[in-house]
Amino acid sequence: MDIIKIDGISKSYGDHLALNNIGFSIPQNSVFGLLGPNGAGKTTLIRIITQIIMPNSGQVLFRGSPMTAEDVRKIGYLPEERGLYKKMKVSEQLIFLARLKGMSRPDAVKSIKHWMEKLDIMTWHNKNVEDLSKGMQQKIQFIATVVHNPALIILDEPFSGFDPVNANLIKDEILELKEKGATIIFSTHRMESVEELCDQITLIHHSKILLHGAKKEIKNQYRNNTFIAEYIGQIPISDNGFEVLETVALEDEIVRSEIRISDDYSVNDLVNFITSKTRILSLNEKIPSINDIFISTVKPANHE
Amino acid sequence: MNKIGLIIAREYVARVKKKSFIIMTILGPILFAGMMALVFWSATREGDQKLIQVIDESGLFENKIENTETITYQFILADVEQTKQDLIESDAIFGLLHIPKINLDNPEGIKFYSLQSPGIAIEGGIEKRIRGIIEDEKLVNSGLDQTLIDNLRAHVDIQTINLSDSGDESESNSGVAFGVGYVSSFLLYMFIFIYGMQIMRGVTQEKTSRIIEVMIASVRPFQLMMGKIIGIAAVGLTQFVLWAVMTTALTSVTSSLILDQPSTTEQLAMQAGGELDAEQIEEQNKAFDLMSITDKIDIPTILGSFLIYFLGGYLLYGALLAAIGSAVDSEADSQQFMLPITLPLIFSMMMISIVIQEPHGSMAFWLSIIPFTSPVIMMMRLPFDVPAWELALSIALLVAGFCGTTWMAGRIYRIGIFMHGTKVNYKTLAKWFVMKI
């Protein structure tokens, strides 16, 4: 079942068209990657989902029916540009933000306690926010996002400002939230975390969708029978349906080549081809990373 | 608690807990009283004894110009040029009044020489006295029967008594009225300014610290803006009430002191009330009783109106300042928008001196009806018995005014808070105003 269905949404600011008839669905209980270069319209789309702004046309369906103000409460949104009241105590601030989401005070306190212990910042609860490190503040903001146990969590660049340890901590929390049934929309430039976390991705560029679907399927689409071989010796540049795209000399006389096989041949043929001429060390299929896909999709679109 | 309620509570608690609020609340009345005391002290300083020499060549005025409490007229027979020279060299003589031989029908050529500018009070006083004497002289010269003149004079005198009776009272009353009006309109001006600026600063801080991005997912921009405006208003009211309580306490303490020590009356009274003018205090020197003065002024109406006009004026200006705060990226950028908005407020402070001269004139009327100037001006006029319908109209328009500015501000605010790094000018603001979100 889809938790969110974006249905033909367009939005313009004056003459600038930010979103042009966008439509896709986000399956329940998935980690959904919303990708796109700067200025693609990601933040606009998120703000439309959270009803901060209204689309010029189209609608957002939440679990099959048009989104209501009540549904918006079930969203936890961590914006890219985020801040806190500097002069406020950590616990007071979290209670305030939780109550704005409609929680009662005791519920808020309970949930905040749970999360602060989990993220190991309980000792800071009585400090002013300005006394906290940036990473610590990010943790507070993360808690503020998930404190009311939202069904849909929207994270815009959640890892910016985190050191690797804390980034991992948050990554684990995101996966755990998914385990517990939440859906996560994840907007980022950091492709390695998309690779790691996302089930589904949508790539927006110039206010249009360029790619959409399950991460696995998209990656499969971009496989093109290319393999990476490491060996000692020499192979001809082109022969019998094997095309060497690139060759790099590594240390100790080892050579690495990228080789594409034409459709009539199999991997076994490639192995035979290389072993007949060299001492083979390794052979792997080159599976495109999301990063490669991102760049190869966005670049040509830029020249349109 | 609903969302606006939560925001109001946060704003209120965060601000009331601040050290600066607590310090200002305690020091405010003391500082303010001190300032007023200083003002009145310098105002009453003019009451130094002054000696004015009179050279009366016409012989009409000899010993007819009566001395006042502060001015002694000394008639001399001397050369004008010589006396002028003496005047420059002597510190004891304040000025020289030279009355040449004059034609009663066209009295020209009367001159007053002094080193310092005499001020309106002295100049007016001399003019009035000379005019009176000339009028008297003319009556006698008109050849009217002496009895008739006496009759006439008796008639005039009756009127004068009447006039001076009510005039006297209204004079002393208008002194108090002036004091009350001036202090309350000045306080109002200060409150609107200080707390309006707090709104602007608060909004800009929320915007630059990006907390707004976090909040905006849970509350509507308008709720956020209204919550802040109302929260800060509550802080202002709290401060006002605390000041009122403290001032009352201070007053009752000092007025009992005053009864014991009449010599220090003046200064203490000023510190205590801050609302009494010097004349009044002098009159009441012997048995200072605040009640007898406050009796003449409708305190509940003034206090009630103060609260209404504080809230109304604050909401009117506060909303506009919130819009500015939302539009700019830093306080420094707000300067260019501040001036046109605070101008009416500053203008109304400047107009006070004109309104005082004619508290029921058409200038005073219109300024106290137009929402942008009405809070300050109406507070000034109020002690002079403003008709109820004018007050009602003024308040109704003020309410309409702040509804209008709040609506306008809301439209700019909802866009402005998301805009970073945009160059903002009036055209941009207008664009945001009409923009659909």
Residue B142: Cβ-neighbour burial (10 angstroms; 0-12, 13-18, 19+): exposed
Identify whether the C-beta of residue A278 lies closer than 8 Å to the C-beta of residue A235: yes
User: Which H or E run includes B358?
Assistant: none
Q: What was the pLDDT predicted at A222?
A: 83
What residues of B are in the A interface, CB distance below 8 Å? 1, 3, 6-7, 10, 14, 209-219, 420, 431, 435-437
Rounded to an integer, what distance in angstroms lies between the CA atom of residue B415 and that of residue B408? 12
First to last CA, chain B: 28
Q: What was the pLDDT predicted at A110?
A: 94
Q: What was the pLDDT predicted at A251?
A: 83
DSSP result, B189-253: HHHHHHHHHHHHHHHHHHHHTTHHHHHTTTS-HHHHHHHHHHHHHHHHHHHHHHHHHHHHHHHHH
Cα angle B106, B107, B110; round to 5: 150
Q: What tens digit of pLDDT does each residue of A92-103 get?
A: 999 999 999 889
Q: Tell me which DSSP letter residue B262 carries.
A: G
Q: Return the residue matching tokens 């006002």.
A: B240
Does A271 score more than 50 pLDDT? yes
Mean pLDDT of A109-123: 92
CA distances from A271 to A231, A267, B223, B314 (A): 11, 6, 68, 82
Q: What was the pLDDT predicted at B264?
A: 45
Cα angle A190, A195, A198; round to 5: 100
Residue A96 has its nearest CB partner, among B6, B435, B437, at: B6
Does A78 score more than 50 pLDDT? yes
ipTM: 0.80
Q: What tens digit of pLDDT does each residue of B71-122 get?
A: 888 888 878 788 888 777 777 788 888 888 877 777 778 888 887 777 777 7
A interface test, pick of B13, B20, B214 with most A CB neighbours within 10 Å: B214
pLDDT in tens, chain B (437 residues): 588 999 999 999 999 988 888 888 888 778 777 776 776 676 666 556 778 888 888 777 777 777 777 788 888 887 878 888 877 777 778 888 888 887 777 777 888 888 777 777 777 778 888 887 887 778 777 777 666 766 655 434 333 333 333 444 444 456 677 777 888 888 889 888 889 999 999 999 998 888 888 888 888 889 999 999 999 999 999 988 888 888 777 767 766 665 554 444 444 444 444 444 554 444 444 344 444 444 556 777 888 888 899 999 999 999 999 999 998 888 888 888 888 888 998 899 888 888 888 888 888 899 999 999 999 999 888 888 788 899 999 999 999 999 999 999 999 998 888 888 778 888 888 888 887 76
Does A152 score more than 90 pLDDT? yes
SS (H, E, C) A282-302: EEEECCCCHHHHHHHHHHHHH
Nearest-neighbour CA in chain B from A74: distance (Å)? 10
Residue A215: CB partners within 8 Å, gap ≥ 6?
Answer: A33, A194, A195, A198, A199, A200, A201, A290
Residue B238: Cβ-neighbour burial (10 angstroms; 0-12, 13-18, 19+): middle
Rounded to an integer, what distance in angstroms lies between the CA atom of residue B191 and that of residue B237? 9
Q: What was the pLDDT predicted at A61?
A: 92
Residue B217 has its nearest CB partner, among A13, A75, A87, at: A75
Tokens (6 digits) for A207: 């206010």
Tokens (6 digits) for A57: 């046309």
Q: 0.80 exceeded by the pTM?
A: no
Identify whether the C-beta of residue A209 lies closer than 8 Å to the C-beta of residue A24: yes
Tokens (6 digits) for B48: 């130094």
DSSP result, A237-285: SEETTEEEEEEEE-STTEEEEEEEEPTT--HHHHHHHHHTTEEEEEEEE
CB burial readout A37-57, b (16+ within 10 A) else e: beebbbbbbbbbbbbbbebee
Q: What is the mean pLDDT of chain A?
A: 87
Q: Return the residue matching tokens 């046309």.
A: A57
Nearest-neighbour CA in chain A from B424: distance (Å)? 16
Q: What was the pLDDT predicted at B290?
A: 43
DSSP result, B363-376: HHHHHTTSTTTHHH
Tokens (6 digits) for B176: 């108090």
- The dihedral sign for the CA sequence B140, B145, B150, B156: negative
Strand order of the β-sheet with A65-66 is A16-27, A2-13, A57-62, A65-66
Which residues of chain A are within 8 Å of residue B435 when distances are taken between CB atoms?
13-14
Most confident of A156-160, A235-239, B226-230, B431-435: B226-230
Nearest-neighbour CA in chain A from B211: distance (Å)? 4
Q: Return the residue matching tokens 């890219």.
A: A80
Q: What was the pLDDT predicted at B258?
A: 54
Q: What was the pLDDT predicted at B6?
A: 92
Residue in chain A closest to B216 (alpha carbons) equals A52
Residue B339: CB partners within 8 Å, gap ≥ 6?
Answer: none
